[in-house]
Chains A and B, each alone.
Chain A
Amino acid sequence: MKITIQSPGEKTIKIAIPTRMLFNGLTAKLGFASIRKYVSTEELNLSSADLKRLVKEIRKTKNKYPHLELVNVESSDGSKIIIKL
């Protein structure tokens, strides 16, 4: 996954994180623990198995659509944030 942050007049920041490192069983567990801590089950009823399934699907997506631009935000002042898988 690549995150690019561009601001006019400032250096472009590029962060590359291996997708496997970001989305794996361990991060799914950690993510689940964080969600449980900050979000009530009424707001989001997510199980650990659901999160694992999501992680698996994200990895599948990465293989199917390498470098897919997930999010592209352009603000009126010229700042840009791009998140690529």
Chain B
Amino acid sequence: MSKSIGNRISQLRREKGITQEDMAERLGVTPQAVSKWENDISYPDILLLPKISKLLGVTVDELLSGESKKDTEFLPEGKRKNIDDMMFRIYVNSAAGDKVRVNLPMALVKMGLEMGMNMPQVSGNDALKEINFEQLIYMVESGLIGKLVEVESADGDTVEIVVE
């Protein structure tokens, strides 16, 4: 039998080392309310779900379904989206604490690459220089989606490329 949302909240809260009181305080509810959710006596308000999921470090979808989103997924031909409807996301987190998020529709990325543009010119990060973007496009066209690249440089910068 699958776990209830209450079980999941309880488990994730314990994993994070948060007490019911802490959680209640951060969400602006009473500790009794949190206890009721965890014991499946009541459910959290729908408007609280984004806050709860953020606090527990999961997505709302994962919180509700209990299924963690796979980092990378291979989709069979029938389930694939048109590549032009996909989004190419670059996440750069520098060791100094700077964050860069770039969201580009795949159609634009494809066109840019056809024209000979390089991604470091778009994101401004040298860690992307060694990445073969044409190969990435080929992988996406073959049905691979999700987190396709995760690079950590020697100075602690991390770069992730996600296709959704």
Report if B115 contacts A (CB, 8 A): yes
- Chain A: how many interface residues by the 8 Å CB criterion? 21
**When the two chains form their complex, are residues A54 and B100 in contact, meaning their CB atoms are under 8 A apart?**
no
The secondary-structure label for the interface of chain B is mixed
CB < 8 Å A-B pair total: 51
Contacts of A65 in B (CB 8 A): 105
Smallest Cβ distance from A33 to chain B, in angstroms? 17
The secondary-structure label for the interface of chain A is mixed
Contacts of A44 in B (CB 8 A): 115-117
**When the two chains form their complex, are residues B107 and A57 in contact, meaning their CB atoms are under 8 A apart?**
yes
Q: B29-40 interface mask toward A, CB cutoff 8 Å, 1 = contact, 0 = none? A: 000000000000
Report if B26 contacts A (CB, 8 A): no
Measured CB to CB, the residues of A under 8 A from B are 44-46, 50, 53-54, 57-58, 60-61, 64-65, 68-76
